[in-house]
Amino acid sequence: MDTAIRTKASLVFLGPLTTAAAPESERSVTYPDLDALMRSGVQPQGIYLRSVPHQVWRNWLHRIRQSDWWNLPVFAEPALRDAQLYVDALCSVERAREITEGMALRRQTLPDPGDVLGLEERLLYFLYERGQQAGFRPLLDRDSDQLYRYPVAEQLACAQENVSQTLEELRRRGLLRSEGLVDRTRLCSGCGSAHIHFVDVCPHCQSLDIRREPTLHCFACGHVSAESQFVEGGTLACPKCHVHLRHIGVDYDKPLAQYHCRSCQRSSVDSMVQARCLDCARTSTPDELEVREVGTLMLSASGRQSVRNGGVGEAYPPLKARNYVDPQGFKRMLDWASDIQARNPQFSFHLMRMELEHTGLPDQQLSSWQVTELLDEFAVRLNAQLRESDLITRVDEHSLWVILPYTMPQGLQSRIEKAMEKLAQEEGESKHLALSVRLRSMEVKAVTGGKEAPSASNLMQKMQAGTLQEA
């Protein structure tokens, strides 16, 4: 039924009435199940779950979050304790009505929920409606690939949408912030899984077959090895010089226990720790894993602003560059410069796009967080190459844009390539990465034979698509 002709109702109830003393105001808006509510023609502002079996309320919640009512608050009786992480609150009816009315007032200042299409927008819109104290709470689940998942966020996602990746992207872009540290996990740098198995191996040959054994030190020749190597016919004898060892402190002593490898027969004071991903079988060292802090995800100030502006497509964290401007400001400056050039052809400037690319082998592929870190590091180095009058911005995850007034791009391009080569060499020493930066630049001019200035959006779209001639 078209929601435009539905009857408005503040709070409706799902499930059987548990007491005959329920007021008439509740009886009139109580429905035995979700199908009955949908057939009723009522447009609820909030939904209150009565005591029903676990599988029933889980099914209702899933259907609500996938319907036109996806953003509505859902409450449950305090008796439904296992629903706490899935609903807005376990509370009394009076408290549910209070929250529902407050959300209805806040919703009047936002776009229509039917216009919110992408998962990123749905997640941010959902939190904004619930106020500054709302957040997605984590749930420990050993079956989850990242050990923790966010049940409410999962309810809002369609079948093909990756919830964990989207939440991490929003957090990295500064639209969500983590509040209240719950745990700290380490993720595989290849597939992002938290199912990591840590094993001690031989630091020389990486064999698993190592044992921690007491060691002996022969004073005659200085040989140090596992005690088992010195046992000969029930007595102790050095396997190297064959001297019989009778008295500790005179013929030999016992240093600290060492690890002895049965594969290469070498000993070492410490073992080497390997991190093995149980999902993709990737082997790495612990310091190569991504460390992620787990907490309640809440809207940041930037996230709230993006909801009020009606979109998150250009909300990326600022770079560590002194002449960085936000994407909207960059486009306004590009429009302004284009208009000036159209009126005064003596004014010249270039537009440059820089895109970070990975050129290594498939098994050396970078994760998104690694690329983001490298892009931030590259932006810091780029500071030394730009003038005060140059402007830089970031409108997607892996690329930068620069406005260069009265500057020929060839010299800057050469310096940027050298800076990128140095960064790749430094990072590649430990990570074996092959990185490059793809540069495109063009001189912006008005349309030939007229004074029509090309718009910023048109210039950037054509350059990104590769349909503009490079300078």
Q: DSSP states of 17-64 as a string?
A: -S-TT--HHHHTTEESSHHHHHHTTEEES-EEE-S--HHHHHHHHHHH
Its sign, for the CA torsion 461, 465, 466, 469, is: negative
Tell how many helices (H) and how many strands (E) occur in the chain.
12, 27
The per-residue pLDDT for 432 is: 40
- CATH fold, domain 327-465, is Alpha-Beta Plaits (3.30.70)
Nearest to 72 by CA among 40, 117, 106: 106
Best CA proximity match to 74, nearest among 133, 152, 164? 152
State the pLDDT at residue 267.
77
Structure tokens at 19: 């007491």
CA distance to 24, 52, 73, 92, 133, per residue, from 17 (Å):
11, 11, 20, 15, 31
What stretches of 68-133 show up as alpha helix (H) in DSSP? 93-107, 119-129
Per-residue pLDDT at 4? 40
The distance from CA 41 to its chain's CA centroid, rounded to whole angstroms, is 40
Instruction: Evaluate whether 13 touches 43 at the Cβ level (below 8 Å).
Output: no
Beta carbons of 282 and 191 less than 8 angstroms apart? yes
Q: Which residues of 198-234 are buried (b: 16+ CB within 10 A; e: fewer)?
A: eeebbbeeeeeebeeeebbbbeeeebbbbeebbeeee
Q: What is the dihedral of CA 304, 309, 315, 320, to 10 degrees?
A: -80
Say what the pTM is. Answer: 0.64
Residues linked to residue 62 through DSSP beta bridges, in sequence order: none
What's the Cα-to-Cα distance from 90 to each of 51, 95, 96, 430, rounded to whole Å? 11, 9, 9, 50
Identify the bridge partners of residue 196 per DSSP, sorted by sequence position.
277
The answer to whether 279 and 145 are in contact (CB under 8 A) is yes
What is the residue extent of each domain of the chain?
Answer: 3-183, 203-270, 327-465
Q: CA-CA distance, 201 to 198, in Å (whole number)?
A: 10
Beta strands at 224-226 and 391-393: parallel, antiparallel or unpaired: unpaired
Listed in sequence order, the DSSP H helices in 161-208 are 163-172
pLDDT in tens, the chain (471 residues): 344 445 566 899 998 876 555 666 677 788 999 999 999 888 899 999 988 899 999 999 999 998 889 999 999 999 889 999 999 999 998 999 999 988 888 888 777 776 666 788 889 989 998 888 899 999 999 999 899 999 999 999 887 888 988 898 888 888 899 998 999 999 998 888 999 999 999 988 988 888 888 888 899 898 887 787 888 877 889 988 988 888 888 888 888 777 888 888 787 878 889 999 999 888 988 888 989 899 999 998 888 887 877 655 555 555 656 677 877 788 889 989 888 888 888 888 888 888 776 665 444 555 555 666 666 666 667 777 777 788 888 766 667 888 888 877 777 777 777 766 666 666 554 444 555 677 788 888 776 545 577 888 788 877 776 655 544
Residue 141 has a pLDDT of 92
Cα dist from 144 to 66, 150, 189, 265, 337, whole Å = 22, 10, 17, 40, 51
Please tell me the predicted confidence (pLDDT) of residue 3.
Answer: 42
Please list, in sequence order, all residues whose beta carbon lies within 8 angstroms of the beta carbon of residue 306, skipping any fewer than 6 positions away: 124, 175, 312, 315
Q: Judge whether 214 and 342 are in contact, CB under 8 Å.
A: no
Cβ neighbourhood burial of 304 (10 Å; 0-12, 13-18, 19+): middle
